[in-house]
Structure 1
Amino acid sequence: MNEVFGIPMSSLATVLAVAFFFCLAISGAIWVRRPILARIGMRNIPRRRVQTALVIVGLMLSTLIFAAALTTGTTLNRSITSDVYRLSGDVDELVVPSGGESEFAGPSPGVTFPEDVTATIRQVADEEPLIDAVIPALWQPVPALNPRTGLSEPVVNLIGLDPTSIESIGSLRDVDGQPIDLAGLPQDGVVLGESTAQQLDAQVGDRLTLYVESATVDVNVAAIAPDWVLTGTLSTGGESGLAMPLARAQELLGRPGEVSFIAVSNRGDARGGLQHSDDVTARLNRALEGTPYRAIPVKQRSVEQAEQAGESFASFFLIFGLFSVAAGLLLIFLIFALLAAERKPEMGTLRALGMKRRHLVAVFLLEGLGYNLIAALVGAVLGVLVAFGIAGIMAQLIGEFLAIEPAWRPRDLVVAYTLGVVVTFLTVAVAAWRVSRLNIVSAVRDLPEPSLPRAGRRWLVFGVLGLLLGGLMLWGGKTADQLFLFAFGMSLLPLSLAAILRRFGVPPRPLYSLASALVLAYWLLPDSLHNRLFGRMEGDIEMFFLSGVMMVAASTVLIVWNADVLTLLVGAFGRSFRSWLPAVKIAVAYPLASRGRTGLTIAMFSLIIFSLVVMSTINANFMALFASDRAGAGWEIAASKPPTNPIPDFRQALADAGIDTGGITAVGRVLQMGPFQAQARQPGDSEWSNYPVSGIDRAFAQASDAPLQLRASGYDSDRAVWEAVSDDPTLAIVDANTLQSGGFGGGPVRFTIEGVERQGSTMQPVQIEIRSPLDNRVRQLTVIGVIDPQASMLFGIYVSERAFQELFPEPASITYYIDVAPGADAQALSRQIEAGLIPYGVQGTVIADEIAEQTSIARGFIRLIQGFMALGLVVGIAALGVVSFRAVVERRHQIGTLRAIGYRQSMVAASFLLESTIVTALGVLSGLVLGLLLSRLVLFSEDFNESFQFESLIIPWGQIAFFAGLALAVALLMAYVPARQASRVSIVEALRYE
C-alpha cells in the first residue's frame, strides 16, 4: 500500500513520527522537570490490575483497527501484485492494434495484425538499451479435450511464440525448472500451462484434441510449464493455455504472417523491468505514431490496479472501522472521568497544597501515556493477527480466482502504532484538561460538584466558536457543493446555540432536548425535501460515518436528558414486581445521576449497533433486489463462447450433438464487448467512459422477461421496447447504473447519463454515443429504456446486432441464452450443452446458480466487514467493565447502607445487573432505531431511486437480533462479576468505608 485516502504512506509515516516524538518530548520534559508528577501518575497503573487490563483493552482498539486495515490492504496488494509478476514474468509492454485512447486497451480474440510490425519494434529495441527482447505472439481461445481422462475445457488460450525471440529472455522452463526447447518440439508438440494440465488432468505424453475452426487437431503434451502470459494465462483468474511455435500456430489457425500482440521485455528481472516502463512505452509509441498500433504498459497498469485495489479495500475497512475508533475515543473520556471520580479527594488535596491545574493535567497525561504505549503496542500486534484472519476468510471467498497471501510491512505497524498513540494522547489531553476543573472544597470532602444555575464562561466560548465554525462549514459546503461540510455545519449550529443559551441560564433539559431534536430532524429529512431546501450537493461514503456520529450524539443527548421517564414507567408498572421494586428503582436512578458517564456508554453501543444495522439492512435490500426471481431476465441457461469458430445454427448444433432440444422453449443470442473494449458518453461530453456494449437478436428481445424501470413514451410494454431495439440500429437500452450520478466511488468502469426526464415509469428519450477504442468509430444512439435492477444479469448498453456489428466486427464473446420448459432439468441440460458443443468452445452455466454464487461471495464480504465492525463491541464491553467495577468501589458505603436497612444480597446484585442492562439496552435501542431510519432514508432517496426502486424496506431481523443479543448478553456477563462482588460486601466494613 502506498496511499490511504489519497495520502502517501511515506508522508503519513513522517508526519506521525514527528507527532509521536513530540508527544514523547512533552511527556519526557514533564518527567525530567517534575519527577514527582511522574511518580504520582505512574503509581496508579499497577494498583488495580483488572481495571488496568480493561483500560488497555479499550485503548488498544484504535491501534488494532488501524493495523488490521493497513495490513489487510497490504495483503491484498501483495497478493494481486505477486500474481501479476508471476503471470507477466519478463513481459512489460504489449504492442496491440488500437487507434483509440483507452488506457485499458489490450489484445482481443480474433483480432490480428501483420507480423511485419515486429520489424519496427525490433528496430526500436536495437536503438534502445532499456529493451531486452521483442516477442511476437499469436493468440486464440480454442476448446481442448483429453481423451485419456475424458475431461475437456471449453476455453484454452493457444499461444504461438517465436522460438528465437523467446530465447532473448531465457527459454521456457517446465514446472521442475528445466529448460524447454520450443524450437525443438515435435511437429505436434505443445507446452501445456500448469492450470490447463490440472483442469484436463493431463501429463507429459498425453494426446489432446483441439477444436480449431470446425476441425480437430491432435497435439502431444511435450512439457508442462508454470502459468504465465507466454503460456496462455493472460490475466489473474483467467483461462490458462498452451504454447507452440509461432509458425505452427499460424498454420493451425489459418493466420499466416499474422500476430495478436508483440510482447516487449525491459532490461532487468520481472520486478526490475517495471521502472523502465514509462520510458520504453513512450519510445515505442513515438515510433508507432501514425500507425493503428500502440504500446501499452500492461505490467505497470496491472500493478497500479493491484495497489489501488489494496488501498480501496484498506480505506473501506478504515471508514467502517472509524465507528469503533470513535467509540474508543469516547471510552478514553469515560475512563478518565472515572479515574478522576475515584481520585477526587486526592486531587482536591493536591490542589489545596498548591498544585496547579496544569500539574493535574500533567499527572493524567503521564498516566495516560503509560497505558497508551503498552495498549498501542498490543493493538498493533493483534491488528496483524486480525488481518491474517481476514486474509484466511478472503481466501475462502475468492481463493478460486486469486491466491491470498497474508503479508505485513513494518511501515504499516509503525503508522498504526504512532497513529494510535497520537490520537489517544490528544484525547487524553482533552480529557485530562476536562477532569482537572474541580472545586477544591468539594473534592477534598468527596462531595458532588455544586450545581450552578447556568453554565460557565467556557460554554459561551465553545458555543461562539461552534457557531462560527458551523457557519464557515455551511458557507464552504454550499460554495464547494460538498455535503459533508454543509451537514457538519448544520449539526454544529443547534448544539453550539444551546451551549450559548445555557450560559444565560436557560433550563438545560428543554434546551438540549430541542437542540438534539433539531439535529435528528435535519439528518432524517427526506432527500427530496433536503434538495429543495438547500440544493443538491455531492457526498460520498464519508457521509455514512458523519451521519452515524451526529445522529448518535443527538440521540444520546436526548436520551440522557429525558431518561427519567424510565423512573415514571417503573413506578407505574411496579405493582407486578413489588418485592423487587426498590432494587429496580435504584438501578434506574443511579445511571441518571451520572449523565456524563451514562451518555458515553450509551453512545458507544449506539455507534456500533447503528453501523451494523445500516450495513445489514442496506445489504439485505440489495441482495433481495439483485437475487430476485427476475434476476435472470427469464432465461435459465447461459452458454458463452469465444468469437472464433462460429455456430451457424445453435439449435441445429445441439441436434447434431445428439442433444434433445424438446425441452428448450427459446434461444436468444447476445454479442458482447467487455467494459474495457467499448466506450460511451453523452454528446458534447469531452471524455469517454469505459462501458460494456451488447448486441441482441430479435429472439432474445421476444423471449426475455427483462423488466424496464423506465421506457420511452409511445411504447405500450417493456417487450415492445426490446423488440424495437433489436430491429432499429439507432436505438438502445441501458442499465439503471447509468442513472446513478451519486453513490460511492466510480472507478474506471463508470458511465452516467444526465438529464433523464421521467414521468412515473416513462422517460423522454436521450442521446448517447458509443465508440470502438480499436479504430475510434462512433455511433450515436437514442436511449428508449432503462433496465430494472431486478434483472441483475443484464449490465451495460444494449443495441441491435446490426448496430453492434457495424461498430465491432469481432465481438469479444458470444452468449446464447436458453429458456427451458417447466419441469426440465436445467443443470443436466447445461452439462449436455457444454459436453456436446465442446468443438465450439461453449461454456454452459445455470444462471440461477451463477447468481447464487455471486451473491454468496458478496454476502461473505459483507459479513467479513460486519465482523470487523463488531470489534467495536469490545469497546462497549470494556466500558461496562470499567463502569461496573468502579461503581462497586464508588458506592461501597451506599451498598452497606442498603444491606443495613434490609436489602438482600440478591437485590443488590440484581440492582447492579439491571443498571448495566438498562444502559446497554438504551444504546442498542438507539442504534437500532437510528440505523433503520437512516437505511430507509438512504434506500428511498432520490440518488438511489434514480437507479434502484425499492418497493418496501426489508429488515434482516435475524442479523439485528444476533448483534443486539450479543451486546446484551456480553453486557450481563461483564456486569456479573462486579455485581456478585457488590452483593458480598460486608455490612460493617462497607459502613466504615471511607
Structure 2
Amino acid sequence: METLFGVPMSWLSISLATILGITSLVLISMAMRNRILLKLALRNIPRRRAQTILIVIGLMLSTTIISASLAIGDTVTGSIRGVALDALGHTDLRLRTPLASGDAESAVFADDPDGTAFFVDRYLSSTTLGLAIKVVESDGRIDGVMPQIREVLPVLDRQSQLTESRMTVVGFDTSRQEGFGKIHDLDGQIVNLDSLSDTEVFLNRAAAEELDAGTGDRLQIVSPSGRHTFTTKAIVRNNGLAANDHRTIMSLSAMQRIMERPGQVNRIDLSVTGGITSGVDLAGQAAKDLRVQLTDPLVAQQLFDVLRSPTAIQALTTYANDTGSGELSPGDAAKILSFIDELVPGDTHTARHASRIGAILASLSNDDTVEHFMAALGEKLVTASSMANEDSSPSTPEQIQDDLTRPNDGLASISPLVDALSQLNAGDDISRYIEANSVEIPTVTVSLLKIAGEALSPQPSFTTSPDATPTDEFRMLAGDSELAAHILAALDSVNNSGRPGLALAVTALFSALQILSVDELKGDSLELAELIGNLFLTFFTIFGSFSIIVGLLLIFLVFVMLAAARSTEMGIARAVGAKRRHLIQMFTYEGFAYALGAALIGTVLGILASLVLVKMLAGAIGEEEDTAFVFKYSFTLTSVVAAFSAGMLLTLMTVAISAYRVSRLNIVVAIRDLPQEFVTSDTPPLRTRLLQLAQSIFGPFYQAYRALSSGRRGEGAFLPLVLVIILLIPPVWGVRIVWAVFKVFQPYLAIGWPLIVVGAAMAGLGLAANLAAFWSLGISLMLVGIGLFLRGMLRRSGIRESAADRSSYTFIGATVLVFWALPFDALEFITGSLDSSFEMFILSGTWMVASAVWLVMYNADLITRGLEALFSGSPHIKAVLKPAIAYPMTSKFRTGLTVAMFSLVIFTMMVFAILNSIGSDLDETPDRVTGGFDIRAETSIDLPLTDIGAVISVSDNLNASDFDLIVGHTDIAAQARQKGAKEQRFLGLGVRGAEQLYLEETLLEITHFDPIYLPTSTLLDNPTSVSEAIWDALANDPTLAVVSGDMLQSNGGPPQFGRAEFSVEGLSQDEIGPITAFEIEVRQAQGRGAASTRTVIGAIDQFAETSESDGGPMALLVTRDDLFTELSGNSLPFTTFRIRLGEEVDAGRVAAAMETVFLDNSM
C-alpha cells in the first residue's frame, strides 16, 4: 500500500522506526550505565521459562494483528494493481464521447467495454476522430494513439462447439501499435497487430481456455449485422492490449465492417511517455490539458456569456456562501468562488437568449403544454423553421417538437428557431389561443403557456457588455461534472425567484461542452486499488482493534501480577535504598526484552496468518466464474517495518505505564505482602504540580544544561544529550506538557463539575463540527462528571465513604452503559444527523464494556452475596463458592482487568455471530433476496430480444413447460433529485423500467410504505400483504415508483458503498414502516432532455438482490417502463429477464441451455 488512512506508508514506517530506534537507544544507554539494574531485571527471564513463554505469547497479540492486517492490505492492493496494470499495459488515458462516459467501466477486474448505453450513440464520427488525433499527436507527452472499437459480443468456436456469450471483441488500428508494448504468444514469440488480415483474430489465453480453442480454429462472432467467421491466428498472453478478460482481437477495419460503422470508433486509447507506472503523474497533467483542448469553443463561449450575467453570478455567489445549500463542502464552495473569479461580469445577448430558451424548455417539459403549444402556433412553426434553416428544407412539426423539447447541442439547434418565432410575434398567437380556449385548458398548462408566450414576445432593448472570451481555467472548471451539478443547483434558485428555465438552458450547454471526455484509466485504477486495500485493512483493523485492546490489557495485567508476585522483593529493594525510578527502570528493561521477542514472533506469525487468510480469500474468489482477479500475496518491507515498530511501541508504552503504576508501593505494605488498599494515595500539592509542569515545558533546556555541565566535568554527557533529542521531538514534548497540565487540574476534575464543563464543551464541539464521536465522548464525560459531583455531595452529607463511592460509581456505570447502548438515532431529534464512521463501532464497544465492568466491580460484593444466598441450600456448593470468590475480591483491580479482557473477547464474538445470523436469515428467506425468481438473464441492447417466449416454445434445447413465468425490465443510468430536499443537485442513480407483469409478480419485500396507496383491507403489520399492495399500485399507475433500500440513510451504521450518488433524505434504513410519499425528478444521464417526475411510495428491503453475481444491487428507482418513453420519446427493449421455473426444475441446466439458445442475443 502507498498510504494508510491518508498517511504515506513510507513516512509512517520511517517515523515509527525512528521513534522506536531512539527509544531503544535511550533504554540501552540507561541500562549500560547501570548494569546492576539490568541484571536484576533480566534474571527472571531464564529462571522462569514457562512464565516467559506465556508472557511473550500474550504480548505478541497486538503485533500479530497489526502485521496480518497490513499484509492483507498489501496483498489486496498489490493484487488489484497487478490486475489493473495487466489489463491496461501502456494505456494511460482514454477518449470517449462524453454522452457515454457515465457508463460503468472498470479496468480492474476486467477491462470492460462501455456496457449498455441508452438514448445515445457511443461512436465518434470521422470528423471528431480526426480532430482528436490531431490534438493528441501535437502533444509531446503522448507516445501512442490507438483508435478502436470495443464491444461485448457472442462468440462460438466451430471446432469445440463451446460459446462465450459476452466476449470482449476489440478492433485495433493495426498501424498504431507503437507505444502500447509488444504482444507475445504462449511460446513467447512476438506477434504484431499488422499481421492480422480482415478474417483473422488473436485470442488471449483466458478466451482460449473458455472456448477450448487453438490456433487455426474457426470462430463465429455475432454482431448486429449477423454472424461472421474468423480464423484464430494465434493465442496470446493476457496483458497489455490483450488484457486479462476474455478477449478477441481483430483489425479495426474488420470490426467496422461487422458493426456496420465505417470510419467510426467508440474510443481512443492513449499512451504517455514513460514506463507502465512511471507515467501516471505525467498522464494526469496531459489529461488536464486535453480536457481544455477538447471542449467545443462555441459552446464554451455561449456558456461563458450566460454565466457572466449579473443574475447568474449573484446566484452562484449566494449558493457558494450559503453553507446550508445542499451538501456543499468547503472545498466545493472554494471551487465555485474560483469559477466566479474566471467570469467577466456583463450582460450579453446570449445570456438574455438563454433565459428565454430556458423558459421555453421549462414550459414544454409538460406533455399537455407541448400539445397546446403546437396547436397554438400551427403552420407558423414551419414558417419559423424555414427562416431558421435558410440553407436546408424546413423541418416537419414532429422534428420541430423534438428540437424544442430535447435540444442536444447546447443552444445552437433551438436558438435560430426561437429568434424566428419571436420575429413572427408567436407570443401573440399563444395569448390569443389561451383566451379562446381558457375554459378547456388546465390552470397549470395555462401558466406554462404564458411563460412560453412571454419568452417568444419581442424583447426590450438593452446595452450589451463588451465581448470577453473564456480562459483555459474556465474551460477546465466547466468540464468538472461535480462543479457543473452545483452550478445548475445554484441556477435553480433563479428559477424559483421568477425566471424559470435558466438551469435547463445551461444544462444543454454543459451537455454539449465536451467534444470528448478524457478518462485517467490507469491513475483511477491505481487509486481504486489503494482504496480497496485500505478498506480491507480497515475491516481487519476494526475487528482486530478489540483484540489489540485485549492484548494491551493483558500486558498491563501481566506486569501487575508480576509486581504482586515480587512485592516483597520490591519492598526490600526500596528499603535498602532503591528509588521508584529504579523500579520503573527494572520493569521497563524486562518489558523491553519481552516486547522485543514478542514483536519479532508476532510479526512472523502475522505474516503466516495473512498467508492463510489470503489462501482462503483466493479460494473464495476462485470459485467465482468469469473473473480476471487473482490474489497474489504481497507484504512490503515498509509494512513489515511499520508492523514491527507499531507492535513494539504499543507494547513498550503499555509496559511503561504499568511499570509506573506498580512502582507506587508502600515499603511496609510490600514487605508484609498486604493488600494495596492499605496504601493511601496522596495528591501532590499545587506547588509540586506546577513545578512538574515547568519541568515539562523547559525539560529539553534543562537536559541540555546537564549535558554541557557533564561535559565540562569530564562525566558522561551521552545520556543527557539523548534525552535532549527525545524531549525536543514535538509529539513527545507536546504529550509531556499536556500530561503535566492534566495533572495540575486532575484534583479539580475529580470534584466533578469541571469535568461536566469539559464534557459539555466537547459535546458542543461535536455538534458544531457534526461529529458523532466528539458528541458521544462529551456526553460520556458529562455523565462521569455528574457521578463524581454526586459522590462529593453524598460524602458531605454524612454518608460513609464506601456507600457514597458505590452510589456514584454505580450511577456512572449504569448511565454510560445505557447511553452507549441507545440506537444511533435515539437522540437525533436533539442533535440532527451526525457524521460517523468505524470509530463509533470501536468507541461504543469499548465504552459499553468499560462501563459494564465498572458497574459490576463496584457492586461485586452484592453480586457475591446474591450468589451465596442462591446456593445457601447446597452446603457443598456454598463451601466451594466462598473460597472461590475470596481471592478475586481481595484484588479488585486485577479482577476488573481480567473481566474486561474476557468481556471484549465475548463482545467481538457476539458481533460476528450477529453478522453471521444476517446471512443465515437471508438463506432461510430466499424470496427476500431473489424476488421469487430462479434465473436472471441479461442480453445486449445492441442484440435485442423481442419475444423470448416464442423462441423458447420452438427451441429443441428448452422445454416451455419448465417455465412458470418470464418477466422483463431494463436498468439504465440516469440522474435524479428529490423535490423539497436539502440537496438540489441532479445526482446519479439507476432507473429500472419494468413491464407491468414484473411489478405484479415480484416478491421483493417493501419495508417502507405510504399507507395512502394501500387498500383499506391491507394489514399494516403483515409485510407480505403490504408488499403486494405497493407493487400492485406501481403496476396500475405509471407515475408511481419505489426506491431500493440502499438509497436510504444508514443513521450511524457502516458506510454504504453503493453505486449511486443519489440518496433519499428523511428516510432511514432502520425506521421501517409508514412514510409520506415524495416526488423525485428523473432525467437522462449527463443531464440531457427534460425531467420527468415520479412519486415514490415505498422502499425495497435493503438486502434485495444482494446475492447476484455482479456484486450486488445497483441503487435503483423502480417504476414502469413508460418512463423511458417520457425521457427520450422512444421505448427500450428489455435487457434483463427474471425467470421463475417449475417445481424440481434444475435452474443450472436451464440457464446453460438458455445461453446456447440465445447466443445471438449475447445472453
TM-score strictly above 0.5: yes
Q: Does 1:744 align with 2:1054?
A: yes
Q: Does 1:481 align with 2:770?
A: yes
Give the match for residue 754 of structure 1. 1065
* Contact in 2 for aligned 1:670/1:696 (Cα 8 Å): yes
Give the match for residue 843 of structure 2. 546
Identity %, equivalent residues: 31
Secondary structure of the residue that 2:642 maps to in structure 1? Answer: helix
Give the match for residue 988 of structure 1. none
Give the match for residue 276 of structure 1. 282
Any stretches of 5+ residues in structure 1 without a counterpart? 234-238, 843-994
For residues 562-641 of structure 1, what are the structure 2 equivalents within 5 Å? 562-565=859-862, 567-568=864-865, 571-572=868-869, 578=875, 582-621=879-918, 623-625=920-922, 628-630=925-927, 631-641=929-939
Q: Could you say which structure has the greater relative contact order, defined with CA pairs below 8 angstroms and 6 or more residues apart?
A: 1
Q: Does 1:145 align with 2:156?
A: yes
Give the match for residue 665 of structure 1. 964
Q: Does 1:833 align with 2:1132?
A: no
Deviation at 1:65, TM superposition (A): 1.2
* Contact in 1 for aligned 2:101/2:517 (Cα 8 Å): no
Instruction: Call closer, same or farther: CA 1:101–1:476 in 2, change over 3 Å.
Output: farther
With 744-753 and 679-688 compared, the bigger mean Cα shift is at 679-688
Give the match for residue 413 of structure 1. 640
* Contact in 2 for aligned 1:75/1:405 (Cα 8 Å): yes
**1:156-197, CA deviations, whole angstroms, 9 ceiling, x for partnerless residues?**
111111100124434533222222243333442111121111
Aligned residue among 561, 574, 579 for 1:338 = 561
Instruction: Call closer, same or farther: CA 1:536–1:188 in 2, change over 3 Å.
Output: closer
With 186-195 and 741-750 compared, the bigger mean Cα shift is at 741-750
Q: Does 1:652 align with 2:950?
A: yes
For residues 477-516 of structure 1, what are the structure 2 equivalents within 5 Å? 477-495=766-784, 505-507=801-803, 508-516=805-813
Give the match for residue 114 of structure 2. 107
* Contact in 2 for aligned 1:60/1:376 (Cα 8 Å): yes
* Contact in 1 for aligned 2:1092/2:1123 (Cα 8 Å): no
Instruction: Call closer, same or farther: CA 1:89–1:513 in 2, change over 3 Å.
Output: same
The 2-side partners of 1:101 and 1:661 are apart by: 40
Deviation at 1:71, TM superposition (A): 1.2
**1:523-551, CA deviations, whole angstroms, 9 ceiling, x for partnerless residues?**
23355543346655333221111111111
Instruction: Call closer, same or farther: CA 1:757–1:518 in 2, change over 3 Å.
Output: closer
Instruction: Call closer, same or farther: CA 1:757–1:307 in 2, change over 3 Å.
Output: closer
* Contact in 1 for aligned 2:675/2:891 (Cα 8 Å): no
Instruction: Call closer, same or farther: CA 1:689–1:748 in 2, change over 3 Å.
Output: farther
**1:120-171, CA deviations, whole angstroms, 9 ceiling, x for partnerless residues?**
3332333222111111111221112223223211111111111001244345
For residues 839-858 of structure 1, what are the structure 2 equivalents within 5 Å? 839-842=1160-1163
The 1-side partners of 2:226 and 2:953 are apart by: 19
The 1-side partners of 2:1139 and 2:256 are apart by: 35
Give the match for residue 305 of structure 1. 528
**1:799-818, CA deviations, whole angstroms, 9 ceiling, x for partnerless residues?**
33232366477989811112
Instruction: Call closer, same or farther: CA 1:582–1:626 in 2, change over 3 Å.
Output: closer
With 59-68 and 171-180 compared, the bigger mean Cα shift is at 171-180
The 1-side partners of 2:831 and 2:174 are apart by: 68
Give the match for residue 363 of structure 1. 586
The 1-side partners of 2:920 and 2:96 are apart by: 40
Secondary structure of the residue that 2:961 maps to in structure 1? Answer: coil
Deviation at 1:268, TM superposition (A): 2.1
The 1-side partners of 2:532 and 2:9 are apart by: 15
Deviation at 1:277, TM superposition (A): 1.4
* Contact in 2 for aligned 1:739/1:753 (Cα 8 Å): yes
Instruction: Call closer, same or farther: CA 1:48–1:468 in 2, change over 3 Å.
Output: farther
Aligned residue among 1121, 1129, 1136 for 1:801 = 1121
Aligned residues: 834
With 92-101 and 344-353 compared, the bigger mean Cα shift is at 92-101
Q: Does 1:289 align with 2:295?
A: yes
Instruction: Call closer, same or farther: CA 1:194–1:570 in 2, change over 3 Å.
Output: same
For residues 660-809 of structure 1, what are the structure 2 equivalents within 5 Å? 660-673=959-972, 677-683=973-979, 685=983, 687-712=985-1010, 713-716=1012-1015, 718=1027, 721-722=1030-1031, 725=1034, 730-742=1039-1051, 743-747=1053-1057, 749=1059, 750-756=1061-1067, 761-774=1073-1086, 776-777=1088-1089, 779-782=1091-1094, 783-789=1096-1102, 791-792=1104-1105, 795=1114, 796-804=1116-1124, 807=1127
Give the match for residue 657 of structure 2. 430
**1:936-955, CA deviations, whole angstroms, 9 ceiling, x for partnerless residues?**
xxxxxxxxxxxxxxxxxxxx
* Contact in 2 for aligned 1:523/1:551 (Cα 8 Å): yes
Deviation at 1:208, TM superposition (A): 1.9
Deviation at 1:228, TM superposition (A): 4.3
**1:46-87, CA deviations, whole angstroms, 9 ceiling, x for partnerless residues?**
221111111111111111111111111010000000000001
Give the match for residue 859 of structure 1. none
The 1-side partners of 2:680 and 2:190 are apart by: 89
**1:348-407, CA deviations, whole angstroms, 9 ceiling, x for partnerless residues?**
122222322222222222221121122112212221111111111110111343200110
With 260-269 and 724-733 compared, the bigger mean Cα shift is at 724-733
Instruction: Call closer, same or farther: CA 1:88–1:841 in 2, change over 3 Å.
Output: same
The 1-side partners of 2:237 and 2:942 are apart by: 26
The 1-side partners of 2:678 and 2:749 are apart by: 20
Give the match for residue 324 of structure 2. none
Deviation at 1:100, TM superposition (A): 8.5
Instruction: Call closer, same or farther: CA 1:170–1:418 in 2, change over 3 Å.
Output: closer
Please, what is the CA RMSD of the aligned residues?
3.1
Secondary structure of the residue that 2:1137 maps to in structure 1? Answer: strand
For residues 165-176 of structure 1, what are the structure 2 equivalents within 5 Å? 165-176=176-187
Letter in 2 for 1:362: Q
Secondary structure of the residue that 2:860 maps to in structure 1? Answer: coil
Letter in 2 for 1:754: E
The 1-side partners of 2:552 and 2:259 are apart by: 66
Secondary structure of the residue that 2:646 maps to in structure 1? Answer: helix
Instruction: Call closer, same or farther: CA 1:446–1:546 in 2, change over 3 Å.
Output: same
The 1-side partners of 2:1131 and 2:533 are apart by: 34
Q: Does 1:84 align with 2:92?
A: no
Q: Does 1:817 align with 2:1138?
A: yes
Secondary structure of the residue that 2:193 maps to in structure 1? Answer: coil
* Contact in 1 for aligned 2:97/2:124 (Cα 8 Å): yes
Deviation at 1:768, TM superposition (A): 2.6
Deviation at 1:493, TM superposition (A): 3.9
TM superposition score normalised by structure 1: 0.78
With 392-401 and 680-689 compared, the bigger mean Cα shift is at 680-689
Aligned residue among 631, 655, 669 for 1:404 = 631
Secondary structure of the residue that 1:183 maps to in structure 2? Answer: helix
TM superposition score normalised by structure 2: 0.67
With 389-398 and 629-638 compared, the bigger mean Cα shift is at 629-638
Radius of gyration: which is bigger? Answer: 2
Give the match for residue 131 of structure 1. 142
Give the match for residue 193 of structure 2. 182
* Contact in 2 for aligned 1:337/1:435 (Cα 8 Å): yes
For residues 210-229 of structure 1, what are the structure 2 equivalents within 5 Å? 210-213=221-224, 215-228=226-239
Instruction: Call closer, same or farther: CA 1:718–1:648 in 2, change over 3 Å.
Output: same
Instruction: Call closer, same or farther: CA 1:333–1:692 in 2, change over 3 Å.
Output: same
Letter in 1 for 2:1065: E
Letter in 1 for 2:1119: V
Deviation at 1:102, TM superposition (A): 5.7
Secondary structure of the residue that 1:419 maps to in structure 2? Answer: helix
